[in-house]
Amino acid sequence: MRFFTSRKPALLNFSLLLMFLAVWLSSYMLPALKGLIEEEHLFYGTVSHAAIPSIFGGSNVPFFDKTIFQINGDDQANFILYASRDMLDSMAEWYSFASVNAGDIPLEISASRIDEKTFVVHSIASTDGELDFESLVIDYQAYNAFIGCAIVAAMALASLILFILWLVKKRK
């Protein structure tokens, strides 16, 4: 039973846990980070399908809380809208994905392609209002990406330190 009284297994377990959390957080941030460096494309159309992933829907946690939608009945292109609850509330004054007439309102969408079928929205506008590039990308996505990358780097560094301590610590 000396195995359970030693701190050495705890060092390895916490190291693996922190590395897993860093990779998991990175996987949620990766689409938005790729969208920051890719070329923008302009789309016009009406929303044909919209979904909010239920595991984090309404949580207001950056990069976890997102809206995925399709336009013009094209099920081959998915648009991901990363926006805060405040942005979505102000957007609800002129456009709501859940409204009955959501598919009738024409939209202008500026988005970056991150893979074959996925785009990250950088701005969205209708005749009644807009969510502009500055507030959506600069003030929200880039700012939260910087904070997220700092958190991932801190967790990875702590994981590395714990792993090194696990290697050098002698069992009593």
| Residue 39 near residue 112 (C-beta atoms within 8 A) | yes
Lowest mean pLDDT among 50-59, 72-81, 122-131: 50-59
**Does the pLDDT at position 59 exceed 80?**
no
For Cα atoms 101, 124, 112, give the angle at the middle one, nearest 5 degrees: 130
CA torsion angle 116 117 123 126 (round to 10)? 140
Q: What is the pLDDT of residue 2?
A: 57
Q: Share the mean pLDDT of the chain.
A: 87
Give the tens place of pLDDT for each residue, 64-111.
888 889 998 888 899 999 888 888 888 888 888 878 888 888 999 999
> Could you please report the per-residue DSSP string of 45-80?
E-EEEEE--TTTTT---TTTSEEEEEETT-TT-EEE
Q: Are 35 and 112 in contact (CB under 8 A)?
A: yes
Q: What is the pLDDT of residue 154?
A: 97
Mean pLDDT throughout 47-63? 78
pLDDT above 70 (res 3): no
**C-alpha span between 74 and 15 (Å, rounded):** 44
